[in-house]
Amino acid sequence: MKNGGTKMNSKIIKRSVESHFNSKIDEKTRKREIVYMRSIYFKLCRELTFESLDKIGKRVNLDHATVLHGIKIFDTIIDNFWEKELFNRYLFIKENLKTKVSLEVKRKAPNKFYRNKYRIKLLQNKKLYNYTKECISKLEQMEYKYSDVLRKKLNDIINDKKYVTKQN
């Protein structure tokens, strides 16, 4: 998921990973914990930013080849099977970063945030309405005696005056 228009960058991700693990990831060491933390950082940067591998690496004083290797470590070792706890921590950090981006969009451009949010809800409601109409039609085909009552109830919900917006 690349985020368009938001200010997600490797610096924010680095702070988030370091904060979560309570450790620095730019120290020069090959300790497994630090290598795995950096792998999580690299993976998150690759997924959430448009930054180059070189720029991601420079944030932790490493080159682009090390970033690629770190992503490879993540993909082969830190998964839901081998390092389940680290993978769950990665998912937690990723979800927190997404929430942070979402709240930033909400704060800076509330109209865009709410328009997208309610557009999705409207589409879900339309699907639900169409599915209900289809179910009522099937009941009518089976000669269910209360299908007309259900259709009337559905139309009452759709035509309820308290939910209609006033047009100027």
Question: What pLDDT is stored for residue 4 in this prediction?
Answer: 44
pLDDT at res. 2: 45
What is the rounded average pLDDT of the residues 118-147? 85
Is residue 10 within 8 A of residue 45, CB to CB? The reply is: yes
pLDDT in tens, 83-113: 888 899 999 999 988 888 777 766 677 777 7
Please give the mean pLDDT across all residues of the chain: 83
pTM for the model stands at: 0.58
Domain ranges of the chain: 10-108, 111-160
- Tell the CATH topology of 10-108: Chromosomal Replication Initiator Protein Dnaa; Chain: A; (1.10.1750)
